[in-house]
Chains A and B, each alone.
Chain A
Amino acid sequence: MANDEKTQPTTGKPAVAPGAAPPPTPAEALSTAHQVEELGDKLSDCADSIHQRVMRDIRRRQGQDVPESEQAAARALLDAEMELRQRANRLYADAAACIVASLGQPQQHLIQLTMDAADKIRRITRIGDGITLVARLLGLAAAASTGQVVPILTAISALKMQVDIVAIDSAPAPPQAPSEPAASA
């Protein structure tokens, strides 16, 4: 049966690349999966026609009693229909597994991108600190222009605090790279 041949692809890569050839690209996998899916559709269609056929016979009886032999035939057809549906579902499951098997690399790449972005977000926060630092310096300059002690002292302490903040933000930069690897997925 066609489905039995298709049981193979689930474990490895589908017929496209036998042996240890490179894994299929997502596009290749998708097109293989699509073919498998179409085969599944054909089986589903067959099951549908069996059902229609059975229902047509039943309707022809117009509510009258259906002879035992005909009932048995209808039930046998129903069983066949059911089995076909399961075989179709098998192909759908195979197609799904085939799609999924090709997605490791794109997922890895996207996760890397989000990690890069997280790093950028951290750096943007630091730009903010830098701006405040510049502002504090300007503040000190303004205070100095008055020649009065209290504003100058206030400005100096504000500046010092900002320098500390920048230092704290900047310090852990080197070890932060390996801190959150992709881990899973």
Chain B
Amino acid sequence: MDLRRCLSCIILAASLVLGGCASTGQVSLAEVRQFADASARLGGYGELSRRYRDTYEREQPYLSPAADRIAKENDARRQAVYDDFVSIQKTVVLYMQTLSVLAGDARYDLSDRIDDLGSGLKANAESGLQQRQIAAYTSLSRLLTRVIASGYQNRSVETMVRDGDADVQVLLEAMIALTRLYAKTNDNEKKTVLGIFDVEIPFSTKTSDRMLVTLAKVHYLNKSTEYKLVDKRYDLALQGLTKVAQGHQKLRENIHNLQGDEVRKMLLAYARDLTKLRDALSD
């Protein structure tokens, strides 16, 4: 039949043309997605913000009356800005999550519909379309989908990364600076808590002090272990935030070259490092 021959010709021609386009235009954003996912899931900052907010609660029993007065005011200041600390993080996480969805496959994976279409055609076996033509038709649609959607998707990811980078960097820089301040405050807390025992234990030499000294030593040991563990977390959180900032900057620098092998490998390495840091933080 004329029409059928004509149709298969069109399909064949289109496959060739689109096949050519697809091989050059199609870009996998899987690495971008993995990087964005890992960045969104990085822990540490939120928990350390909370710990910073609750500083007074922990240090209060150890404070002298004079120090306590200042500490109480400090507490009020920390409570007042806590929400702002959290909102910075929320903004960055929201951004990364959106970038992940934008770069995601699942959202645009239209194979379901196309396969459905293919089987629909197969059911129409009587239609006289031959198996070969059905296959060509299905793969044509698949290519078409990928070409249209992935071009659009790339541009969207590009726009978002390009327009977002400066602000993302500002917020991450702020989170890094804040985490550093958390760590320094924690350091003063640690030295306040442990400092008393440094001084008082050597002063307690009477035999009647023995039990007290023993308890004090046990308490000291527990506390210094606790602070040692926490110290590590500040370090991990800082490393993570720095990695996210660097990764996003690289993404921005290579935004037109995302199909390059090296760029993909690099993004994957960032994602892997971030996942490792996250695992270390959740231990």
Which of B88, B120, B195 touches A107 (beta carbons < 8 Å)?
A: B88
Pairwise interchain contact A118-B181, C-beta atoms closer than 8 A: no
Which of A37, A47, A74 touches B181 (beta carbons < 8 Å)?
A: A37
A163 interface hit (Cβ, 8 Å): no
| Assembly CA distance A113 to B167 (angstroms) | 11
Q: Assuming A95-B181, A97-B77, A131-B141, is B4 touching A113 (CB within 8 A)? A: no
Pairwise interchain contact B67-A131, C-beta atoms closer than 8 A: no
Number of A-B contacts (CB under 8 A): 243
A66 interface hit (Cβ, 8 Å): yes
Pairwise interchain contact A85-B192, C-beta atoms closer than 8 A: yes
Distance in Å: Cβ of A74 to nearest Cβ of chain B = 6
A124 interface hit (Cβ, 8 Å): yes
Distance in Å: Cβ of A70 to nearest Cβ of chain B = 9
Distance in Å: Cβ of B77 to nearest Cβ of chain A = 4
- Please name the residue on chain B nearest to A79 by beta carbon: B64
Distance in Å: Cβ of A161 to nearest Cβ of chain B = 12
Contact with A along B171-197 (1 / 0, CB 8 A): 101100110110011011101100110
Pairwise interchain contact B127-A93, C-beta atoms closer than 8 A: no
Across-interface contacts of B234 in A (CB, < 8 A): none
Across-interface contacts of B191 in A (CB, < 8 A): 47-48, 51, 81, 85
Pairwise interchain contact B7-A78, C-beta atoms closer than 8 A: no
Distance in Å: Cβ of B118 to nearest Cβ of chain A = 9
Pairwise interchain contact A146-B126, C-beta atoms closer than 8 A: yes
Chain B: number of interface residues, binned into ranges: 35 or more
A16 interface hit (Cβ, 8 Å): no
Chain A: number of interface residues, binned into ranges: 35 or more
Pairwise interchain contact B94-A114, C-beta atoms closer than 8 A: yes
Main secondary structure of the interface of A (DSSP, over half): helix
Pairwise interchain contact A54-B99, C-beta atoms closer than 8 A: no
Q: Assuming A83-B64, A113-B95, A143-B127, is B117 touching A135 (CB within 8 A)? A: yes
Write 25 A-B pairs (CB below 8 A) sorted by A numbering.
A34-B177, A58-B199, A71-B203, A79-B67, A82-B66, A86-B74, A89-B185, A90-B73, A96-B181, A107-B87, A110-B168, A117-B156, A117-B160, A121-B102, A128-B149, A132-B114, A138-B7, A142-B124, A145-B1, A145-B127, A145-B128, A148-B127, A150-B126, A155-B124, A185-B90
Q: Given A110-B171, A142-B121, output 18 extra A-B contacts at Cβ < 8 Å.
A: A26-B173, A27-B170, A47-B188, A51-B198, A54-B198, A82-B192, A85-B191, A93-B185, A106-B166, A107-B87, A107-B167, A116-B159, A121-B101, A121-B156, A127-B149, A128-B108, A131-B141, A185-B87
Residues of B within 8 A of A (CB): 1, 3-4, 7, 55, 63-64, 66-67, 70-71, 73-74, 77-78, 80-81, 84-85, 87-88, 90-92, 94-95, 98-99, 101-102, 107-108, 110, 113-114, 117, 120-121, 123-124, 126-129, 137, 141, 144-145, 148-149, 152-153, 156, 159-160, 163-164, 166-168, 170-171, 173-174, 177-178, 180-181, 184-185, 187-189, 191-192, 195-196, 198-199, 202-203, 205
